[in-house]
Amino acid sequence: MAKKKAVKKKAVKVKKEKVIRTDFNEDLFEKLKVIRNGIADEKGVANFIVLNDNVLKELSYYYPTSKEMFLMIKGVGENKFDEYGKEFLPTIEEFTKEVGNSKSRQRELAESVVVKPKINVKERTAMRKAKVKELIEKKMLIDEMANIMDLTAQTIANYIGRLLEDDPTLDVTHIKNSIEGYNDIVKSFEKHGTEKIGPVYGDFAGMVEYSDIALVRILMQAK
């Protein structure tokens, strides 16, 4: 009699709901901003690359004091926590000693996550690349693609980089032309190299969007 094949259970992952907090603790928020800005200066990156303000507001509402709780915050993944997140935990933990509702907020955080079946990452990547290519061929700009696909502009830029690696002949001229100061940004990268964005961002003293500089680097590296 043939043995029955064991059924493999599908892995699950946590889906984090998108919420913009207005009832966060402003004192903790300011403390975390100081830490965030210090890390950004040290790394030579824009503040939001470390953690954006919405993440800091979530942290200042839920008071996560462990890696497990920290990863429940939308906008924080394993890599980002390992690189930056650990710097925030001592301050949050110290702050929870001053507030009386930290445990209830942490329970609320745990109850707010929704479990859903894990998707196939390779299939999702292939589908997204195909969609981005379709929108490029329709001459859409980065922000338009981001709105249609409900992704960040940086994520769209990364997919464009992958597409150009696959097919360097892909016409992205309309995207280059939409970047204000494209040629100046290219010259700055040629001066500093494309290893880091910080020096180029510094050249423009905040007058050029960080996302535009990151996109120019992707386009240059894909040549």
Cβ atoms of 156 and 132 closer than 8 Å: yes
pLDDT at residue 4 is higher than 50: no
146 and 203: one domain? Answer: yes
In a domain, 7, yes or no: no
- Whether residue 164 contacts residue 222, with contact meaning beta carbons closer than 8 Å, is answered with yes
pLDDT in tens, 25-52: 999 999 999 999 999 888 888 888 889 8
What is the reported pLDDT for 38?
92
Could you give the CA distance from residue 157 to residue 197 in angstroms, rounded to a whole number?
15
Q: Are residues 145 and 176 in the same domain?
A: yes
Q: With contact defined as beta carbons under 8 Å apart, do 35 and 85 qualify?
A: no
Residues 127 and 65 in one domain: no
Cα 2 to Cα 5, 7, 9, distances in angstroms: 9, 15, 21
Please check whether residues 125 and 112 belong to one and the same domain. Answer: no
Is 129 found in the same domain as 108? no
Domain boundary residue among 63, 82, 116? 116
Q: Which domain holds residue 180?
A: 121-221
User: Is the residue at 153 inside a domain?
Assistant: yes
- For residues 150 and 77, membership in a common domain is answered with no
Q: CATH code at 178?
A: 1.10.10.1390
**Residues 153 and 67 both lie in one domain:** no
Q: Write out pLDDT tens, residues 113-156.
A: 765 566 688 888 999 999 999 999 999 998 899 888 888 888 89
Check whether residue 77 and residue 134 sit in a common domain.
Answer: no
pLDDT mean across residues, the chain: 83
**73 and 95 assigned to the same domain:** yes
Q: Are residues 160 and 200 in the same domain?
A: yes
Model pTM score? 0.47
**Comparison of pLDDT for 161 and 3, the residue scoring more:** 161
Over residues 55-65, the pLDDT tens digits come to 999 999 999 98
pLDDT tens digits along 63-110: 998 999 898 888 888 888 888 888 999 999 999 888 777 888 888 888
Instruction: Give the HSE-up count for residue 4: Cα atoms under 13 Å, Cβ half-sphere.
Output: 3
Domain boundary among 116, 131, 154: 116
Among 13-17, 79-83, 208-212, name the one with the lowest average pLDDT: 13-17
φ, ψ at 201 (rounded to 5°): -60, -40
pLDDT value of residue 137 = 95
User: Would you tell me the crossing angle of helices 182-192 and 210-221 to the nearest 10 degrees?
Assistant: 70
Same domain, 109 and 58: yes
Task: Report the domain count for the chain.
Answer: 2
**Final residue of a structural domain among 116, 141, 172:** 116
Whether 222 shows a pLDDT value over 80: the answer reads: no
The verdict on residue 4 lying in a domain is: no
Q: What is the mean pLDDT of residues 165-185?
A: 90
CATH code at 71?
A: 1.10.150.80
Does the pLDDT value for residue 3 go beyond 60? no
State residue 207 phi and psi, 5-degree precision: -85, -10
Q: Looking at residue 60, what is its pLDDT?
A: 92
Is residue 178 in some structural domain? yes
